[in-house]
Structure 1
Amino acid sequence: MTPLALEPPATEPVSLVEARLFLRLDQADEDDLLATLITAARLMIEAASGRCLINQPWRIVLDRWPSGGEIRLPLSPVGTITAARVYDLLGAPQPVAGTALALDPLADPPLIRLAGEVPEAGRDRGAIEIDIVAGYGAAADQVPAPLRQAVLRLAARWFEQRGDVASRDAQGLPAEIVALIAPYRRMRL
């Protein structure tokens, strides 16, 4: 299974205004840098927590349908399945009926269950594509406050301590950031 990001989220979980207030910046001179740091911090928090914060479209690519009829998604939370297709022997995409796939968004990790007839995969690799929307919602206020705070604090840390701090944080996030995301981390057993 391969997850592919189709587009970045339309907005960030922390606005430039919020970040400027947090950093006590009166000027907008460094807004471009700050926006870049907010995006980088969101990506780092998403990776560390295993959660997509703001709604974003993803494509899940499978070689074949699972024998057990359940697809455990590598992303969470997942709100909707927007489309699904299977490539036949000639390489033409065949749509999958919306009723053939059932999303269980409350499972963790989220599950897609085969709930009806699905077309047979016609090629060995990348035969099945399922488009989903992953994230807590389209607006920043739908993201849990501790995760938003983690993005804000990490972006502010990188802004205030320019230099190699970002590369050190990539090795291991600071304890205060880890504490904020801990309740949301997807655990592997």
Structure 2
Amino acid sequence: MIPIFVDGPAVEPVTLPEMKAYLRVDDETEDDLISGLIRAARLMVESASRRILIEQRWRVVMDRWPIGGKVPLPISPLLAVDGIKVFDAAGIPIEVPAGSIEVDPASDPPWILITNAPEPGKPRNGIEIALHAGYGASPDAVPAPLKLAIRILVAHWYENRGDVAGEQILPPEAMALTAPFQRARL
């Protein structure tokens, strides 16, 4: 099962004005740098927590249906399943009817139960699941500890520009804030 990033968030969990206030930066000369650090910090926090923070589109591809048809998804939290396609031997997609799909976004990991779906004709990547993941489309939907972890990480990078040997991936404070949200790998 391979998750493929399709489309990123329209906004970041922490806005540029919020981050500048946190850093106590008044001028606009480093806005591009701070914006880039916010994006990078979001990606690091998503990686450490194994959670998508702001709504994003993803595609999951797999070779065949698991026994019983229950598909645990590698992306969390799940907002919606947009559709499922099964490719025949010629590579032509067949849509799985919505009535054949049961979704449980509240489980961890979230899962999909497929009934009466055709078997893929392609030996590799014959099933494609399109989905939306994240806490929501608004920064307000993101849990406060994860937003604070982003602020701490941006501040750390902003104040410590350059390589620092032997340092952890995330500062200990940011790691502690992401720990309760971490989900097990599949």
TM-score interval, normalised by the smaller of the two chains: over 0.9
Deviations 1:117-162 (A, max 9, x none): 2122011000000001110000000000000110111011101111
Q: Check conservation: 1:4, 1:59, Cα contact below 8 A.
A: yes
**Aligned partner of 2:182 among 162, 168, 185:** 185
SS in 2 for 1:71: strand
* Identical-pair percentage: 49
Q: 1 CA distance for matches of 2:16 and 2:165?
A: 19
SS in 1 for 2:79: strand
Where does residue 2 of structure 1 map in the other structure?
A: 2
Q: Check conservation: 1:158, 1:165, Cα contact below 8 A.
A: no
Q: Give matches, 1:6-155, under 5 Å.
A: 6-114=6-114, 116-155=115-154
Q: 2 CA distance for matches of 1:101 and 1:167?
A: 48
CA displacement at 1:169 relative to structure 2: 3.9
Change (3 A) 1:167 1:126: farther
Structure 1: gaps (5+ residues): none
Q: 2 CA distance for matches of 1:165 and 1:101?
A: 49
CA displacement at 1:106 relative to structure 2: 0.8
SS in 2 for 1:6: strand
Q: Check conservation: 2:74, 2:185, Cα contact below 8 A.
A: no
CA displacement at 1:188 relative to structure 2: 5.1
Q: 2 CA distance for matches of 1:110 and 1:36?
A: 31
Q: 2 CA distance for matches of 1:141 and 1:52?
A: 14
Normalising by structure 2, we get a TM-score of: 0.95
Q: 1 CA distance for matches of 2:64 and 2:95?
A: 15
CA displacement at 1:72 relative to structure 2: 0.8
CA displacement at 1:68 relative to structure 2: 2.4
SS in 1 for 2:118: coil
Moved over 6 A (4+): none
SS in 1 for 2:7: coil
Q: 1 CA distance for matches of 2:156 and 2:175?
A: 14
CA displacement at 1:167 relative to structure 2: 8.6
Change (3 A) 1:167 1:53: farther
SS in 1 for 2:120: coil
Q: CA-atom RMSD, angstroms?
A: 1.6
Q: 1 CA distance for matches of 2:177 and 2:17?
A: 21
Normalising by structure 1, we get a TM-score of: 0.94
Q: 2 CA distance for matches of 1:14 and 1:179?
A: 19
**Letter of the 1:160 counterpart:** E
Q: 2 CA distance for matches of 1:105 and 1:151?
A: 25
How many residues are matched? 186
Q: Check conservation: 1:7, 1:57, Cα contact below 8 A.
A: yes
